[in-house]
Amino acid sequence: MIEGLKDKVAIITGGGHGIGKVYCLGFGRAGARVVCADIDGPAAEAVAAQVAKETGAKSLGLSVDVAAEESTKAMAAEALERFGKIDILVNNAAIFATIPINRGGIETIDPKEWDRLMAVNLKGLFFCARAVLPAMRAQKSGKIINISSSTVFSGSAGRIHYVTSKAGVIGFTRTLAREVGDDNIQVNAIAPGSTLSEETPSEEIVRFRQLQVGARALKRVQLPQDLIGAVLFLSSGLSDFITGQTLSVDGGASMR
């Protein structure tokens, strides 16, 4: 059992699909109580039921739109009503794989799509953090883990709106860490590499993921399971003196 996670209450946004689903199951296996939040309410409830069945952990599935402030407030309120506290927030919800995006150059990006990515990928962090912080401040403890992307460091062409949003996650992480440190709340980020996160990937997607292998020190395709260790570590007592940091989890593609 990872130190400090048994009976902790963890909210995972975007928990109904892909990597978020793996996070929910990982927290359940670590002994935490899991709140699976997703804009796809039925998927969130299904994952919560799977967590309970496979891990025995207490769980809750919620329909949440992270881009809507009232929805995030309701998420925090329901978590508190069910479990009495909020210890961990994993800001995983983002537009990328489950909701297809334009992967072309800057001239091809629709301004409406740009705005929608920023609303979910950045404003969503803002709303979710503000929703859980009163509970964390009151108990003088908490962990917030934001999900960035290794594309921020490589600056690869295409998807400029997505990469920009994920660069903003790092700035958000550092500033929030400064603001909440006096309340013993740690805020960190992880930057995953190209991950085969699609639940039913096409042959084209698989080939794309395989193309990323050559740049890595560890020569294989990255899977969602490769990320859970970093998230659990940053959520646990093992990381109590780490804050404002971004941990790359990409098989050694970026070394900073």
Radius of gyration of the chain (CA): 17
Could you give the CA distance from residue 134 to residue 140 in angstroms, rounded to a whole number?
10
**162: how many CB neighbours lie within 10 A of its CB?**
23
Q: Enter the tokens of residue 47.
A: 């994952």
> What's the number of CA atoms in the CB half-sphere (13 Å) around residue 11?
37
Amino acid making up residue 195? T
Instruction: Look up residue 19 and give its two tokens.
Output: 């990597």
Query: Per DSSP, what are the bridge partners of residue 12?
Result: 36, 90
- List, in sequence order, every beta strand (DSSP E) within the chain: 9-13, 33-38, 59-63, 88-91, 142-147, 185-192, 246-249
Provide the annotated active-site residues: 162
Query: What is the 3-state composition of the chain as percent helix, strand, coil, each rounded to the nearest 5?
Result: 50, 15, 35
- Two structure tokens written together for 57: 């952990």
Tokens of 134: 């009163």
The continuous run of DSSP H or E covering 114 comes out as: helix 111-121
Q: Please say whether the dihedral angle defined by the alpha carbons of residues 216, 153, 201 and 68, taken in this order, is positive or negative.
A: positive
User: 10 Å Cβ neighbour count for 84?
Assistant: 10
